[in-house]
Structures are given as C-alpha cells and as structure tokens.
C-alpha cells in the first residue's frame, strides 16, 4: 500500500502559528473526529498549550457509533469531552458556558474570554464557528485546509473566538492511523491512493459492521459468502478487491465487458462512508490496541 504522508514544511509552519495563537488565548477548544479520536488529534497540542485549559469536542458524533463514542468520553484523560454535531446550534450551545468555567478569571468588561479553535483538517472548525455565531463567517468545504487566513469573531459581549489557518496536522508515522484519517476525509486526495484506502476501509467495515455494508449496498450475498469465493485465508488485498467489486457491481461501476472499475467503486464507497450513508461507524475503540 502506498505510504500516506504530509509535507514537513506544512507541519513546522502550523506548529509555529498554533504556538503563537495559543499564547494569546485563554481557552483552547480542541476538535477531534468522534469516529477516530486517537488518530485525529496531535499530541503536540499538550506541549504547546501548557498551562492553558483545553476543552475537547468530539465532532461528527452523528457519523460515529454512539456506543463507542460514549466509551471514549468515559475513557478520555482530563475533562470529559463533549460529543457534538457542529452544524446543530442546540448541540454547540453549551460550549460558551464551559469556556467561561475554564477561564473564571476572565469575562466582563475589558476581560473578554479568548477562545482558540484548533484541530486537524476537515474536522469541523469553520462549521463550528458559523453555528456558534449564527452567520456564515468562516468558509466551509468538504476537503481539508479550506481555511486560509486567521479570523477573530465576537461571539458574545465577553467571548471572542479565533480560528487560525495553522492546523494541527495529525501524526502519520502510524500508517494504520493514517488510513483511518484518509478514509474519514481528513487527508487530501493527493496524499494517498483511493483504491488502497477504500480497500482498507471496506475490509474494516466488513469485519466490524458487516450488516451495515450489506444493507447499504443491497448485496445479494453476505460478506462471508463473498469472501468464501477465494482461499480459506485470503490476503487483505484479495479481500479488498472482492468487496469493492461487489460494491461496484451493485452501483453500476462497470467498464466494457462487465468488469468492475475499481477506482469508481472506491470513490462510491468512500463518498458514502464519509457522508454517513453506510451508517454510524467508529474506526477506533478506547480499549483497542492503538496500532
């Protein structure tokens, strides 16, 4: 499988920008993807934030397995995270008060609570700011790194929120975590091969949530029956091809001669996965080996 990686220059610049912004804030609001809380955070935040309080938000909780998300919130070190949907005003309404609680020395005339929102690409920072303000003040997109310039927005008479274009790039030295990030949409498409990532993801879903895969793509055969057409112990690559071919056939991703176009099948699968159309799926569990 092709290795997934970032450009080191991006990470170094992001580290400097985030470090400078943290020094000027009172509370750091850290966004992590509820589907992969471990892989979607960067451990350097703790070092950069130092004595600043950190409020962790589990974003995209509507796309994650709710049972697994609840387990993550209980197991999280530090203050219990809030599992939210960034586009839901009622869901995010509790954030301002929590930030006031974390910065009791601020608030009131001349002591605005300054909130810095940080997180990896495409985790929902701009959506959160737009929802909190009730206005489209931050650009939102379905691809990483949409935010290009720093912006500060007055949230209330004693609250201001700051979104920096310096994003916390996740660590990709763990390639298993990198595949989870790519499958979730956090990694730009130029950094990975879609068929490789879709192959990994479809095998994960087939193993962990087989009934969701079968129902979404109306598979005539069950997952076990599809995989039984090969050797008793097929390789991961063989399993991936068989499953993507099954998806491609059901969605008409065919070339001349009736052969499945794996690239189209991979694109179809990843789009449905990221949009939550397959169902609520969590890629990581708190009690599982992080590797």
* 17 and 152 part of one domain: yes
CA distance 272 to 63: 11
Judge whether residue 216 has pLDDT over 90. yes
**CATH, residue 101:** 3.40.50.300
pLDDT of residue 45: 82
**CATH, residue 200:** 1.10.1580.10
Q: Are the beta carbons of 61 and 104 closer than 8 angstroms?
A: no
CA distance 121 to 125: 9
pLDDT, tens digit (0-9, with 9 covering 90-100), for 84-115: 998 889 989 999 999 999 999 887 777 899 99
pLDDT, tens digit (0-9, with 9 covering 90-100), for 221-246: 888 888 887 665 667 788 999 999 99
Closest among 124, 59, 37, 64 to 278, alpha carbons compared:
64
Its pTM stands at 0.85
pLDDT of residue 245: 95
Q: Are the beta carbons of 29 and 55 closer than 8 angstroms?
A: yes
Domain membership of residue 81 (yes or no) is: yes
Helical segments of the chain, H only: 8-23, 44-49, 66-75, 89-92, 95-102, 125-133, 175-184, 194-208, 210-216, 223-227, 236-250, 262-274
pLDDT of residue 145: 45
Judge whether residue 275 has pLDDT over 80. yes
pLDDT, tens digit (0-9, with 9 covering 90-100), for 136-187: 665 554 444 444 455 778 888 888 898 765 565 656 667 888 899 999 998 8
Contacts of 192 (CB under 8 A, 6+ apart): 2, 4, 178, 182
Q: Are the beta carbons of 270 and 23 closer than 8 angstroms?
A: no
Helix, strand or coil for residue 37?
coil
* 14 and 156 part of one domain: yes
Pick the more confident residue, 220 or 253: 253
* 28 and 88 part of one domain: yes
* 40 and 134 part of one domain: yes
Q: How many domains does the chain have?
A: 2
Closest among 57, 76, 26, 30 to 168, alpha carbons compared:
30
Domain membership of residue 176 (yes or no) is: no
Pick the more confident residue, 47 or 237: 237
pLDDT confidence bin for 74, thresholds 50/70/90: very high
* 47 and 112 part of one domain: yes
Q: Are the beta carbons of 120 and 38 closer than 8 angstroms?
A: no
106 exposure class (CB count in 10 Å sphere: 0-12, 13-18, 19+): middle
The arithmetic mean of pLDDT across residues 18-33, rounded, is 89
Domain of residue 211, residue span:
193-274
Domain membership of residue 171 (yes or no) is: no
Round the average pLDDT of the chain to a whole number and report it: 84
Ranges 147-156, 215-224, 252-261: which has the least confidence: 147-156
């Amino acid at each position: 499988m092709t290795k997934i990686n970032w450009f080191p220059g991006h990470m170094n610049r992001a580290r400097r920008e985030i470090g400078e912004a943290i020094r000027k804030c009172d509370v750091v609001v850290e966004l992590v993807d509820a589907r992969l809380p471990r892989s979607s955070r960067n451990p350097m935040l703790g070092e950069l934030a130092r004595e600043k309080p950190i409020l962790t938000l589990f974003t995209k909780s509507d796309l994650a397995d709710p049972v697994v998300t609840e387990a993550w919130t209980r197991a999280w070190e530090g203050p219990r995270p809030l599992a939210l949907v960034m586009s839901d005003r009622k869901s995010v309404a509790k954030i301002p008060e929590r930030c006031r609680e974390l910065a009791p020395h601020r608030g009131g005339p001349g002591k605005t609570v300054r909130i810095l929102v940080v997180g990896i690409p495409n985790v929902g920072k701009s959506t959160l700011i737009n929802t909190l303000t009730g206005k489209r003040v931050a650009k939102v997109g379905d691809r990483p790194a949409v935010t290009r310039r720093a912006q500060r927005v007055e949230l209330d008479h004693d609250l201001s929120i700051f979104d920096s274009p310096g994003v916390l790039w996740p660590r990709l030295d763990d390639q298993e975590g990198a595949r989870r990030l790519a499958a979730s949409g956090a990694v730009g498409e130029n950094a990975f091969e879609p068929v490789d990532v879709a192959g990994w993801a479809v095998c994960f879903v087939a193993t962990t949530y087989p009934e969701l895969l079968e129902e979404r793509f109306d598979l005539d055969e069950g997952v076990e029956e599809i995989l039984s057409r090969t050797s008793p112990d097929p390789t991961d690559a063989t399993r991936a091809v068989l499953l993507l071919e099954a998806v491609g056939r059901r969605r008409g991703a065919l070339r001349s001669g009736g052969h499945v176009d794996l690239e189209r099948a991979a694109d179809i699968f990843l789009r449905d996965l990221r949009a939550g159309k397959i169902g609520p799926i969590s890629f990581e569990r708190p009690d599982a080996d992080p590797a």
